[in-house]
Chain A
Amino acid sequence: AQTVTQSQPEMSVQEAETVTLSCTYDTSESNYYLFWYKQPPSRQMILVIRQEAYKQQNATENRFSVNFQKAAKSFSLKISDSQLGDTAMYFCAFMNYGGSQGNLIFGKGTKLSVKP
């Protein structure tokens, strides 16, 4: 069975600085998808970024980028120019290729605090 591990329960960063959140996963599959979701106090899960395992190029979305290391089964999220609105829980998630985004496996999350 696939597992997702986030080893940093909490992190903090100063506004405008850069922070990296870590995620490792375990799977025997060669094709899959990885995601980072953000959950602010409003409780709504919001997709931040998505990576297909068969793509070597790291995904980027504005201030958010990932460092995908397939051999190491590592998928970290880098947030540049951190903003107060980035304060939230961040969850790493895994999905089998050919599966459904309705069935995601989540890590336990990292609580990120952005300080003014």
Chain B
Amino acid sequence: DAGVTQSPTHLIKTRGQHVTLRCSPISGHKSVSWYQQVLGQGPQFIFQYYEKEERGRGNFPDRFSARQFPNYSSELNVNALLLGDSALYLCASSFRQGDHSPLHFGNGTRLTVT
């Protein structure tokens, strides 16, 4: 079975631009979470979606938004990019929202803002 897939793997954008990152969860998984991992730091929670509804939001500005589609795939959108948005963006999926459902991570999208 395919794992969590993220696209693109690498991306270079200019300050002020907009970016869309995509994530396909493991087949049958209904929960998707997004994390930002700045170089040298641990991942920081951005959003969680379950059954197409936002179920959690981290401490990120409104420039960050996300959505989940009927097939449970997800997009993370970032507007008005800043240099500080340069990071590895990780997507993770689980079968359901509950705490007994293991989390499976993708390989991430490396975003560089110049």
Binding site for B on A (CB under 8 A): 4, 33, 42-47, 91, 93, 95, 97-109
Q: Are B107 and A43 in contact (CB under 8 A)?
A: yes
With the chains together, A97 CA to B92 CA distance in Å? 19
Q: Are B45 and A104 in contact (CB under 8 A)?
A: yes
CB distance from A62 to the nearest CB of B (A): 17
With the chains together, A98 CA to B99 CA distance in Å? 6
With A91-B42, A108-B42 already in contact, the answer to whether A100 and B106 are too (CB < 8 A) is: no
With A106-B44, A108-B40, A108-B42 already in contact, the answer to whether A100 and B97 are too (CB < 8 A) is: yes
Closest to B55 in A: A100
Given contacts A106-B42, A106-B43, 18 further A-B contacts (CB under 8 A): A33-B99, A43-B90, A44-B106, A45-B43, A45-B92, A47-B102, A97-B99, A99-B99, A100-B33, A100-B50, A100-B97, A100-B98, A100-B99, A102-B31, A102-B55, A102-B94, A102-B103, A106-B44
Number of B residues with CB within 8 Å of any CB on chain A: 29
Binding site for A on B (CB under 8 A): 3, 31-33, 40-45, 48, 50, 55-56, 58, 88, 90, 92, 94, 97-99, 101-103, 105-108
Q: Are A43 and B42 in contact (CB under 8 A)?
A: no
Question: How many pairs of residues, A versus B, come closer than 8 Å at their CB atoms?
Answer: 71
CB distance from A106 to the nearest CB of B (A): 3
- Tell me the interface secondary structure of chain A in the complex: loop
Closest to B32 in A: A102
CB distance from A99 to the nearest CB of B (A): 6
Q: Are B33 and A103 in contact (CB under 8 A)?
A: yes
CB distance from B110 to the nearest CB of A (A): 8
Closest to A35 in B: B103
Closest to B106 in A: A44
CB distance from A90 to the nearest CB of B (A): 10
Q: Are B48 and A103 in contact (CB under 8 A)?
A: yes
